[in-house]
């Protein structure tokens, strides 16, 4: 099938990782793919052979358009003579009400969503805005295409030495202490639960796509009530994916104290490397979290915690610091269970590959 995929692949954001993973997987299933993306200076050295072919290929006039982006941006790519698919990705309990009308546009043929949480966001918002009848019209457009992981990049490497201490790893952006990713909660909980005498470490890989903050200033504002702080280390540089794979493999447990996720690619990447996850339970990450492969942070409150206009109508889940502490301590004191859940995580990660996502996408395309 001839596909025109719109979206930027040249950052380290979740959007870029998603576009890159899905585009490559669709191409590998013998689809003809044109990738319409930004082209930063020297971009030719940043792509594989297939991506070079996709980017330099002229747009298909008789293809299907797929845009991975927020609904208000879809209208800039709508083409009356080609089917259009908008890939919806958002975090929270509802989305901005105006987006419902973007999604109901007759020129939008299908809407793909990556998790049950994202489907619920669309339908719950639509019911409030346009009622049951038009919500059913919208629901008929919805098709499931999960996110995934490239297991040629993320896989267990037994020969990679573990950190010198039991190590939790987080991989998220952090711009402020109001950030959705929740790194602020994790640092406070970890620093107040453990001391330097505990053989434990927290390694935080900050995603530079969202900017690198003055870490010391942000930590000072957390009012950490412990003078004998445990080992917390940061990686703020953009690292190659093979290095990120080794970082995951060197640690023992992936942790995410996020307030909301569409899917959380970091969690499934870590699982593919043999790590169990410790995560909050409001968001798309719950699609792949099970009692066999993950630990859960379930206590907290729903509220309007964002200062961004984009999320002003949206509630997020703010995890309780004491519950984060409890779960961190449990993992540290039950390291054999952590290992066993890590083994289950590898097996479960095979259900969540980009190849599987692309096969699901093709099934939806065949309905056009």
**Number of compact structural domains in the chain:** 2
How far is Cα 368 from Cα 362, in angstroms, rounded to an integer?
A: 10
Q: How far apart are CA 112 and CA 114, in angstroms?
A: 7
Residue 273 pLDDT = 98
- CATH number (domain holding residue 244): 3.40.50.2000
Same domain, 211 and 111: no
Identify whether residues 228 and 361 lie together within a single domain.
Answer: no
Which residues are bridge partners to 204 per DSSP?
A: 170, 234
At 352 the pLDDT is 98
The residues of the chain scoring below 50 in pLDDT are none
Domain enclosing residue 54, as ranges: 2-148+354-365
Q: What is the pLDDT of residues 123-159, one digit of tens each?
A: 999 999 999 999 999 999 999 999 999 999 999 999 9
pLDDT for 208 equals 83
Q: What pLDDT is attached to residue 258? A: 98
User: Are residues 338 and 252 in contact, defined by beta-carbon separation less than 8 angstroms?
Assistant: yes
DSSP string of 225-242, one letter each residue: --SS--EEEEE-S---HH
Residues 276, 321, single domain; the answer is yes
pLDDT of residue 1: 94
C-beta neighbour count of 362 within 10 angstroms: 17
Whether 360 and 307 share a structural domain: no
* Domain annotation covers residue 238: yes
Residues 118 and 172 in one domain: no
Q: Are 85 and 66 in contact (CB under 8 A)?
A: yes
The answer on 32 and 123 residing in a single domain is: yes
| DSSP H or E segment with residue 64 | strand 64-68
Question: Residue ranges of the alpha helices (H) in the chain?
Answer: 14-28, 49-56, 71-74, 99-104, 116-141, 183-193, 215-220, 241-250, 265-272, 321-333, 335-349, 354-365
- Does residue 185 sit in the same domain as residue 139? no
160 falls within a domain: no
Q: Is residue 86 part of a domain?
A: yes
**157 falls within a domain:** no
Q: Are the CB atoms for 235 and 199 separated by under 8 Å?
A: no
Do 183 and 210 contact (CB within 8 A), yes or no? no
Which pLDDT belongs to residue 196?
97
* Residue 131 belongs to a domain: yes
Does one domain contain both 134 and 174? no
How does strand 300-303 pair with strand 316-319? Answer: antiparallel
User: Is 159 inside any structural domain?
Assistant: no
Residue by residue, DSSP assigns 118-177 as HHHHHHHHHHHHHHHHHHHHHHHHEEE----B-TTTS---TTSPPPSSEEEEEEE--SST
Q: Is the same domain home to 210 and 289?
A: yes
Cβ–Cβ < 8 Å for 126, 137: no
The reply to whether 260 and 113 lie within a common domain is no
Give the other-Cβ count within 10 Å of 221's Cβ.
10
Here the CATH number for the domain that contains residue 35 is 3.40.50
Check whether residue 140 and residue 173 sit in a common domain. Answer: no
Please give the pLDDT value at position 238. Answer: 86
Do 300 and 194 sit in the same domain of this protein?
yes
185 lies in a domain?
yes
pLDDT of 14 = 87
């Amino acid at each position: 099938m001839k596909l025109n995929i719109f979206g930027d692949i040249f950052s380290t954001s979740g959007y870029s990782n998603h576009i890159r993973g899905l585009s490559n997987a669709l191409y590998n299933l013998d689809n003809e793919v044109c990738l319409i993306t930004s082209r930063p200076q020297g971009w030719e050295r940043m792509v594989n052979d297939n991506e070079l072919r996709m980017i330099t290929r002229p747009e298909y006039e008789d293809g299907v358009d797929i845009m991975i982006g927020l609904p208000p941006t879809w209208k800039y790519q709508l083409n009356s003579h080609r089917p259009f698919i908008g890939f919806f990705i958002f975090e929270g309990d509802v989305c901005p009400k105006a987006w419902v009308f973007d999604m109901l546009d007759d020129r939008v043929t299908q809407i793909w969503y990556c998790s049950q949480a994202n489907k619920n966001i669309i339908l719950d918002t639509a019911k409030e805005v346009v009622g049951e009848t038009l919500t059913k019209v919208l629901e008929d457009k919805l098709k499931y295409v999960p996110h995934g992981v490239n297991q040629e990049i993320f896989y267990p490497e037994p020969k990679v030495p573990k950190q010198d201490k039991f190590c939790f790893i987080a991989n998220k952006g952090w711009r402020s202490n109001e950030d959705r990713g929740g790194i602020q909660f994790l640092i406070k909980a970890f620093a107040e639960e453990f001391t330097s005498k505990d053989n434990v470490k927290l390694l935080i890989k900050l995603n530079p796509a969202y900017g690198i903050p003055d870490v010391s200033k942000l930590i000072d504002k957390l009012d950490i009530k412990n003078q004998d702080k445990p080992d917390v280390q940061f990686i703020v540089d953009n690292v190659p994916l093979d290095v990120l794979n080794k970082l995951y493999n060197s640690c023992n447990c992936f942790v995410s104290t996020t307030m909301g996720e569409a899917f959380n690619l970091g969690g499934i990447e870590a699982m593919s490397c043999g790590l169990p996850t410790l995560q909050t339970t409001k968001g798309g990450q719950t699609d792949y979290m099970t009692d066999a492969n993950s630990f859960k942070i379930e206590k907290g409150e729903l509220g309007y915690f964002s200062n961004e206009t984009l999320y002003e109508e949206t509630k997020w889940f703010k995890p309780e610091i004491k519950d984060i502490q409890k779960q961190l301590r449990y993992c540290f004191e039950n390291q054999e269970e952590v290992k066993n859940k890590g083994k289950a995580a590898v097996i479960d990660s095979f259900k969540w590959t980009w190849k599987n996502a692309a096969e699901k996408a093709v099934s939806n395309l065949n309905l056009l």
